[in-house]
């Protein structure tokens, strides 16, 4: 089994061996004591005790009882050694820390502080000795009191210590999963986190979900877009999400929610500002409902916290972890209105706007045309800091550090040069805007780790008046409902075709297939049921965005080809006009 | 193992109002079961069927009422006079056999000997009708024999025995059934 790369430490934070405690006896030579002490320091108490008892391969020393050496050699025979065991000390510290509610102090050693310094094996050994009530208390306080410890690792150890020792398979599986999450391996077979989850049985998935704490569950949910690349992983992710949903809020989080709901922004931003970034992100990710009101009231953070940094946290919390927050990588649509905020009627605007969540304005003349060395540009990329819109910005903004935005600038300049006399003007210059879409040549969900990828981005632009394209070849018009239903049916039929090629075990899990289109983006997908969720839910999830903009096909049972009526739950979530005419709505 | 079936006359043995479906309690389930049992045509079967499917099992997710309804559905399969009613019963049993518990709800049910895993409990009931499904493989009715094959392969806890059974089945002129039979045997081999 793998172990998280954390060195064992003493509660004081120093890496040190267990301290030997040697009882002195009259007439005992100092040389002999030194010999024994050296042996204990180098080989450890337990090895020394084992040696004294009859060899390293002999039975292990008892954990809790003081060790009393058995007679062996003429020298050591006379040395009665009474000592505490290394593991016994830690059991005692964890037990007393748990009893006293002492969690992370250095002296006396807090329970989590001690556990945090142990290997997974030792942690499980210590925890197995505790009573179920003691383990339950440790688990119950971990999220609230263990902020400076590796909570996900301790949570896993508590879970595994509470399961049968005769279940090493599950323990290995759960530790592999924990390691995969910790090491950022989500999709590489066979030990990527989603690969492990997808190949686990449903019962194992539930147990694995229970072995993960909020942070680990959030990490998986945060990588949702990568899960879709692993067959079966989206179904497993449903189990993960349901588990996360059952954990609820910590008392501190609930307090913050109360402040948001009560509109007490001064206190909210004051307390939020005092939290560790890890906990700030956990709060935002675990409670997405608070993000819009915080964003709407971000100006109230002035003088209390840094609004830009809070915006950055909001973006991070709502952006899949597989995507960076570097502005050039994040933004995929820019708009420009020729007369927006111009000082003189004959001028053209230099302002471009972007981001759906926080409308960001940028003067394109602030992006320099100069270039810099690749090494320096990459340094700017790596060291980018939160800026407008909560995105990460380089200190120097130019063609090298912002290759996409520099292209945007060129496109706007080109439009400014050709605009006068253009047919666009005839459409009414105050109501038109030029939209620029960015296409980044990178595989789905891969992280952008260098500027090289961004330099390969291409842009397409078009003039829009409302939702109508006035000019520009690459535009995607908003599709009619009739067309949407046709496309949704095509997607559904593709899903049914895919079903027919699935292996038996997968086919049996698919009871319903449907298709859907987002009429605002034109994106088309198919979806199928997963545990506890309907096929319609997968379609909405895959499309993202506003669920009310989705048009569904009739759902079918791929085994029989029969239409599956829209269930009562989906009727509550989606309106009837999101389904084609003639679809069957179930009702008792 | 004896067939776990219950006649509809014993529907009152279950407190349906205390059982969960996908959309509330299972109070309407007895009436739906009776309607399925009495349905004489495809339209009536369809109506009765979709008052059970989408409730006791919803798009592959099992609810606890499925376990309690399964013996009655099995009885309908074994006693219905009309093929369309039997097709409906088969489709329900297949959905139940392939279903999984909702991970957000309790996944155990009260079985005769204590709490049981919902999925396993349902599969046990469905599997108890194996010999009846095997007999249906030899029917001339293509819709029924295809479903019998689907159900038998869904509860393949005895792959060798099932392979031997399927080896002795003659698909006749039913090309679709022959294709499904061949695929089932290939997958059993795999």
pLDDT grade for A67, boundaries at 50, 70 and 90: very low
pLDDT at A4: 35
pLDDT value for A482: 79
The DSSP H or E segment spanning A573 is helix A568-573
Over residues B64-83, the mean pLDDT reads 93
The band of A7, judged by pLDDT with boundaries at 50, 70 and 90, is very low
Pairing label, strands A555-556, A563-564 = antiparallel
- Residue with the bigger pLDDT between A424 and A520: it is A520
Contacts of B23 in chain A (CB under 8 A): 567-569
CB contact under 8 A, A238 and B103: yes
CA separation for the pair A462, A288 (Å, rounded): 34
The answer to whether A515 and A526 have CB atoms below 8 angstroms apart is: yes
pLDDT digits (tens, 9 = 90+) for A365-398: 999 999 999 889 988 988 888 888 778 899 999 9
Mutation target among A567, A572, A587 for the B interface, most CBs of B within 10 A: A567
**pTM, 2 dp:** 0.46
- CB-side neighbour CA atoms (13 Å) of A473: 1
Alpha-carbon span A45 to A512, nearest angstrom: 62
Q: Do A243 and B94 touch (CB under 8 A)?
A: no
d(Cα A194, Cα A205) in Å, to the nearest integer? Answer: 11
Query: For A359-443, where are the alpha helices, taking DSSP H only?
Result: 374-382, 403-418, 423-426
Q: Sign of the C-alpha dihedral, residues B93, B98, B104, B110?
A: positive
Residue A89 CA neighbour count, 13 Å, CB half: 17
Cβ within 8 Å, pair B103-A245: no
A514 part of contact set with chain B, CB < 8 Å: no
Q: What is the mean pLDDT of chain A?
A: 77
Whether A48 has a pLDDT exceeding 60, the answer reads no
Give the per-residue pLDDT at A419: 67
Spatial contact of B143 and B87, defined as CB atoms under 8 Å apart: yes
Whether B76 and B84 have beta carbons less than 8 Å apart is answered as: no
Q: ∠ at Cα A337 (A332, A343), nearest 5°?
A: 135
A501 touches chain B (CB under 8 A): no
pLDDT at A541 over 80: yes
Is A383 or B22 the better-scoring residue by pLDDT? B22
Taking the Cβ of residue A511 and every Cβ of chain B, the question of whether any pair is shorter than 8 Å is answered with: yes
Alpha-carbon dihedral sign for residues A155, A156, A160, A161: negative
pLDDT tens digit sequence for A560-588: 999 999 999 999 999 999 999 889 998 76
**Can you spell out the DSSP letters for B7-57?**
-GGGGGGS-GGGSEETTEESTTHHHHHHHHHH--SHHHHHHHHTTTBTTTE
Asked if B93 contacts B24 with a C-beta cutoff of 8 angstroms, the reply is: no
Asked if B103 and A531 come within 8 Å (Cβ–Cβ), the reply is yes
The neighbouring-strand residues paired with B62 are B57, B101
d(CA A451, CA A379): 10
| C-alpha distance from B103 to closest chain A C-alpha (Å) | 6
Residues of B in Cβ contact (< 8 Å) with A569: 22-23, 58
Place of tokens 């003349």: A365
* Strongest mean pLDDT among A13-17, A246-250, A525-529, B108-112: A525-529
- pLDDT-derived band at A92 (thresholds 50, 70, 90) equals very high
Q: Residue A479: which pLDDT band, with cuts at 50, 70 and 90?
A: low
Residue B57 with chain A: CB contacts under 8 Å:
511
Interchain pair B60, A568: CB under 8 A: no
Q: Is A393 helix (H, G, I), strand (E, B) or coil?
A: strand
Token pair of A197 as six digits: 């989850």
Residue B111 pLDDT > 50: yes
Q: Do A534 and B117 touch (CB under 8 A)?
A: no
C-alpha to C-alpha distance for A48 and A41, rounded to whole angstroms? 9
Calculate what percentage of chain A has a pLDDT beyond 90: 27
Closest chain B C-alpha to A242 CA, distance in angstroms: 6
User: Which pLDDT score, from 0 to 100, does residue B160 have?
Assistant: 86
Tell me which of B103, B107, B116, B159 to substitute to probe the interface with A (most A C-beta atoms closer than 10 Å).
B103
pLDDT of res. A443 = 36
In A, residues 209-228, which contact B (CB 8 Å cutoff)? 209
The contacts of residue A1 (CB under 8 Å, 6+ apart) are A120, A121, A171, A172, A175, A176
Tokens matching residue A34: 């030194």
Going by pLDDT thresholds of 50, 70 and 90, the confidence category of residue A57 is very low
Query: Which of A240, A247, A499, A504 should we substitute to test contact with B (largest number of B Cβ atoms within 10 Å)?
Result: A504
CB contact (8 A) between residue A569 and residue B23: yes
A482 Cβ contact list (under 8 Å, min separation 6): none
Whether the predicted pLDDT of A275 surpasses 60: yes
Chain A, nearest residue to B31 by Cα? A588
Residue scoring higher pLDDT (A465 or B173): B173
A167-204 pLDDT tens trace: 788 888 999 999 999 888 888 888 899 999 988 888 88
User: Could you tell me how many CB contacts below 8 A there are between chain A and chain B?
Assistant: 77
Q: Which of residues 122-151 of A touch B (CB under 8 A)?
A: none
Q: Which of A504, A512, A565 sits opposite B187 (nearest CB)?
A: A504
Higher pLDDT, B178 or A546: B178
Query: Which tokens in the block code for residue A328?
Result: 């050039």
Mean pLDDT to the nearest integer, A260-268: 91
Q: Is A588 close to B51, i.e. CB distance below 8 A? A: yes
Confidence of residue A41 (pLDDT cuts 50, 70, 90): very low
User: Model confidence over A208-231: pLDDT tens digits?
Assistant: 999 999 889 988 887 877 787 787
- Check whether A535 has a pLDDT greater than 80: yes
**Which of A66, A91, A69 shows the shortest CA–CA distance to A80?**
A69
Put simply, the answer to whether B60 touches A530 (Cβ < 8 Å) is yes
CA atoms within 13 Å, Cβ hemisphere of A484? 22
């Amino acid at each position: 089994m793998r172990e998280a790369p954390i060195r064992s430490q003493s509660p004081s934070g120093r890496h040190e061996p267990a301290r030997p405690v040697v009882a002195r006896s009259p007439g005992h030579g100092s040389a002999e004591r030194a010999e024994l002490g050296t042996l204990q320091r180098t080989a450890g108490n337990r090895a020394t005790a084992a040696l004294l008892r009859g060899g390293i391969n002999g039975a292990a020393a008892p954990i809790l009882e003081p060790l009393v050496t058995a007679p062996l050699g003429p020298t050591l025979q006379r040395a009665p050694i009474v000592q505490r065991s290394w593991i016994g000390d830690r059991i005692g510290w964890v037990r007393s820390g748990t009893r006293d509610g002492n969690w992370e102090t250095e002296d006396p050693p807090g329970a989590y502080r001690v556990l945090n310094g142990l290997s997974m094996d030792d942690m499980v050994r210590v925890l197995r000795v505790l009573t179920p009530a003691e383990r339950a208390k440790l688990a119950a306080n971990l999220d609230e009191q263990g902020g400076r410890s590796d909570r996900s690792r301790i949570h896993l150890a508590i879970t595994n210590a509470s399961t049968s020792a005769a279940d090493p398979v599950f323990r290995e599986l759960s530790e592999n999963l924990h390691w995969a999450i910790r090491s950022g391996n989500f999709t590489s077979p066979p030990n990527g986190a989603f690969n492990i989850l997808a190949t686990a049985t449903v019962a194992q998935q539930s147990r694995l979900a229970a072995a993960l704490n909020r942070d680990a569950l959030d990490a998986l949910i945060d990588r949702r877009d990568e899960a879709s690349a692993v067959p079966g992983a989206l179904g497993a992710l449903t189990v993960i999400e349901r588990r996360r949903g059952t954990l609820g809020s910590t008392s501190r989080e609930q307090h913050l929610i109360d402040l948001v709901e009560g509109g007490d922004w001064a206190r909210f931003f004051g307390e939020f500002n005092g939290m560790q970034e890890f906990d700030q992100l956990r709060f935002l990710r675990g409670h997405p409902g608070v993000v819009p009101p915080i964003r709407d009231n971000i100006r109230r953070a002035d003088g209390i916290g840094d609004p830009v940094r809070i915006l950055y946290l909001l973006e991070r919390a709502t952006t899949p972890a597989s995507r960076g927050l570097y502005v050039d990588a994040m933004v995929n649509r820019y708009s420009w209105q020729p007369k927006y905020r111009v000082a003189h009627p004959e001028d053209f605007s230099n302002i471009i706007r972007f981001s759906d969540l926080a409308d960001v304005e940028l003067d394109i003349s602030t992006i320099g045309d100069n270039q810099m060395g690749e090494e320096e540009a990459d340094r700017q990329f790596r060291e980018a800091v939160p800026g407008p819109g909560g995105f990460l910005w380089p200190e120097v903004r130019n063609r090298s550090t912002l290759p996409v935005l520099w292209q945007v600038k060129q496109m706007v300049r080109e439009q400014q040069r050709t605009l006068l006399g253009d047919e666009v003007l005839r459409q009414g210059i105050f109501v038109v805007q030029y939209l620029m879409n960015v296409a980044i040549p990178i595989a789905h969900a891969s992280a952008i780790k260098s500027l090289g990828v961004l330099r390969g981005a291409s842009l397409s632009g078009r003039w829009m008046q409302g939702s109508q394209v006035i000019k520009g070849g690459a535009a995607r018009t908003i599709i009619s409902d009739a067309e949407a239903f046709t496309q949704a049916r095509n997607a559904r039929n593709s899903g049914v075709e895919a079903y027919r090629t699935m292996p038996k075990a997968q086919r049996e899990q698919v009871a319903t297939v449907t298709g859907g289109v987002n009429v605002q983006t034109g994106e088309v997908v198919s979806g199928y049921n997963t545990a506890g969720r309907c096929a319609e839910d997968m379609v909405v999830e895959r499309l993202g965005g506003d669920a009310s903009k989705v048009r569904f096909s009739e759902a079918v049972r791929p085994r029989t080809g029969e239409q599956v009526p829209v269930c009562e739950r989906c009727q509550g979530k989606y309106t009837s006009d999101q389904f084609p005419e003639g679809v069957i709505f179930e009702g008792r | 193992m004896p067939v776990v079936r219950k006649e509809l006359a014993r529907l009152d043995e279950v407190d349906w109002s205390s059982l969960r479906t996908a959309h509330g309690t299972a109070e309407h389930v007895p009436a739906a079961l009776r309607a399925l049992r009495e349905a004489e045509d495809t339209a009536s079967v369809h109506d009765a069927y979709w008052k059970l499917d989408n409730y006791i099992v919803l798009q592959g997710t099992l609810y606890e009422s499925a376990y309690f309804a399964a013996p009655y559905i099995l009885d309908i399969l074994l006693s219905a006079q009309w093929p369309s009613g039997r097709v409906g019963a088969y489709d329900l049993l297949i959905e139940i056999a392939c279903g999984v518990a909702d991970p957000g709800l309790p996944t155990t049910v009260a079985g005769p000997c204590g709490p049981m895993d919902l999925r396993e409990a349902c599969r046990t009931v469905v599997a108890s009708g194996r010999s009846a499904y095997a007999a249906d493989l030899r029917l001339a009715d293509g819709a029924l024999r295809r479903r019998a094959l689907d159900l038998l392969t869904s509860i393949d806890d005895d792959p060798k025995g099932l392979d031997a059974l399927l080896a002795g089945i003659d698909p006749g002129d039913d090309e679709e059934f022959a294709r499904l039979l061949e695929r089932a045997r290939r997958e059993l081999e795999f």
